[in-house]
Structure 1
Amino acid sequence: WADDTYALSAGLVGELSRRVGKEWFFVAVDYSFGSAMVKDASRAVTDTGGKVIGAVRYPFNTTDFSSFLLAAQSSGAKVVALAGTGADTVNAVKQTHEFGLQQGGQTIVGMLTFISDVHSIGLRDAQGMYIASQYYWDDDDGTRAFAKRFIEIEKREPTKLQAATYAAVRHYLKAIEAGGSDEAKAVNAEMRKLPVDFFGRPAHIRKDGRVVYDLSLYRVKKPDESKYPWDYYQKIAAIPGDKAFRPEGTGGCKLDK
């Protein structure tokens, strides 16, 4: 129900290669997630006629990104993509400003960035960064309705992963109610029969279990563009689900044969 490295690469890279630049440099965390993201994103860059100038890998929980960001800066790549998570992303983005990457004309992309990360970074340093997401709390009436209930309890806006988890559990419980059983196979079948409501937007469950919906490309706002708390994203483009997610039959799932 959440996005994955393929979707974040195929959707985000495709749009940005056309809009921002075709020369990419990756700063990736050195474990399986970082490797998968760089692999999928590099393929997407090539598919759009772009070029991967280089890539560096850093240890998880790094606090000093100076050598990695200097390598990205000296590469001259138009786009510097950060393939990390959490505190790594927060620290890396803050340090891109210290070294003047944006001032030098490079665009920063957060390959897997949550709104909580942007909140921690602050708009002064996060402004201009691009991200892709299937959920942003202030997109429309459907996303705002869920966010209103969430913030009453958590006192902060939901991330895209929290939204996806909610959508999955809600659909699962609706299937139990509709079918009158919590037996796994029965619920599975019922989930596939019921229409999927992804915060008011259409979605569907494929044979291999992947839930398909549209993603969006966002640019993080400048401080003077933000009008109220958590007003962080400007939508740049919609990314159709059939273009963002891995094509059915190519993921190696034994159920998809």
Structure 2
Amino acid sequence: MPQPVGEPQPEPVDPSPGPTMELPPPEEAGSGPPRAADAIWGAEAMAPSRAALKREHGSTVTTWLQADRLEYQARQGHDGLLWDVQGYYGNPTSKLWLKSEGEAALGEEVEDAEVQALWSRAVAPFWDLQVGVRQDLAGETDTHAVVGIQGLAPYLFEIDAALFLSQRGDLTARIEAEVDQRITQKLILQPRVEVSLAAQDNPARKVGAGVDKIEAGLRLRYEIVPEFAPYIGIEQGWRLGDSARYARLAGEDPSVTSVVMGVRFWF
């Protein structure tokens, strides 16, 4: 609508409020003492505020539990069930971890099951050093000392690697890596690889020295909500070297392909 002649015209409205150009901070920014408030109020007066800040933002105790894999595996010969659950209690730099994983063929006894109790300490951004014990609950029920590292590698690969030393002196290792590839906001493809190694032969466990087993899989999950996501996928497992020979002697196929269906949840 035209404005009457002689009346002041309104200022044009900037469609993007705020400064039109970001300027660098002045040279003196950050040049003061790291705890400038001490110079005004004194270090003793500021100590309670700093303790509260550390407690609220750096020492918050949390509890977290996740079933990373809780799945049914359909494969030739004998279908099975698998679980892989972990959780922790602690603050950002120090935690108590509990982990459990295992698998069983349907209609048969549990062939592989374990539980771990680990104390972890942050040693770098996104990386925790973990030490503790592992107890096997099926087969040869050995007890192991555990030293491992868990964290987030570049390109958002989640890494969980550990060394295990049993009371029998058997030294083994396990390395797991997975990454989430987001297709949509709710649909996520997760490649996953797990490698198991052994320092010596262990015929009772059908484990040979060297690379014992490799598992590689793809899982496609749909996040109904971030905390709950059913998935489907495929996984290929290979027993190698003497481990493959032990598997054949036991009447097992050292190469197994499984179609998997499961659910991933956390709280």
Higher helix share: 1
As a proportion of its length, which structure holds more strand? Answer: 2
Normalised by the length of structure 2, the TM-score is 0.30
Bigger radius of gyration: 2
TM-score (norm 1): 0.31
- More relative contact order in 1 or in 2 (CA 8 Å, sep 6+)? 1
